[in-house]
A and B are shown apart, each in its own frame.
Chain A
Amino acid sequence: GQQVMQIPQYQHVQEGEDFTTYCNSSTTLSNIQWYKQRPGGHPVFLIQLVKSGEVKKQKRLTFQFGEAKKNSSLHITATQTTDVGTYFCAGFHNNNDMRFGAGTRLTVKP
């Protein structure tokens, strides 16, 4: 099946620093979703991007969908300890073919 690559695998930051995770596909995606999984918890839906070049913001989180709809990013400004967790992207190649990225595990040092 078609894969979605996510980098980096791990990111450790000092509280207040910024954080970015990236997802890339070799083929065009119809849409992409982002999820957050806290340690010991289950993934929770954050946002869905559908349009080419789309940018959405949720407080300190900024989500982007590339112009070619092959890549996406999640950027967190001024991280806080509550941001700790693993962030996953899920790319849809068509309605029935969805792949999760491997996730980026974020740790934040107070």
Chain B
Amino acid sequence: DGGITQSPKYLFRKEGQNVTLSCEQNLNHDAMYWYRQDPGQGLRLIYYSQIVNDFQKGDIAEGYSVSREKKESFPLTVTSAQKNPTAFYLCASSIYGNQPQHFGDGTRLSIL
């Protein structure tokens, strides 16, 4: 089946530690996105990529980094610079920029 796979489902981060969230899609979509969702809140865009080897900052990119070395993969690193990383992280993809987005099941990140 085609879809988006995020892993892990749950992740715990120690103080001062960088952690990487995985996002893989087999939908052959050009565009991929990372969102942060806090309890009872909407979706805030962290980073997006319209094409391989290119990505742009969203509204809340500080403390996060991404790479897009392959079309299928768009990993997100939550760095130690992100002081409040506890949230639900959602990855999405679309055929191209303004088309409907398909979301993964998300990763819940917590601080130990």
With A42-B103, A42-B106 as given contacts, are A96 and B50 in contact (CB-CB < 8 Å)? yes
From DSSP, what is the main secondary structure of chain B's interface residues? loop
Size bracket, chain B contacts:
20 to 34
Q: How far is the CA of A103 from the CA of B43 in the complex (A)?
A: 9
Apart from A6-B42, A92-B98, 13 more pairs, CB < 8 Å: A31-B98, A35-B101, A41-B105, A42-B90, A43-B90, A43-B92, A43-B101, A88-B42, A88-B43, A98-B45, A98-B97, A100-B42, A100-B43
Interface string of A1-32 (1 = CB under 8 A from B): 10000100000000000000000000000110
B16 interface residue (CB < 8 Å to A): no
Q: Is B2 in the interface zone, CB < 8 Å from A? A: no
Please give the residue numbers on chain B whose beta carbons come within 8 Å of chain A beta carbons, in ascending order: 35, 40-45, 50, 56, 59, 90, 92, 97-106
Give the contact-size bracket for chain A.
20 to 34
The reply to whether A95 and B98 contact each other, CB–CB distance below 8 Å, is: yes
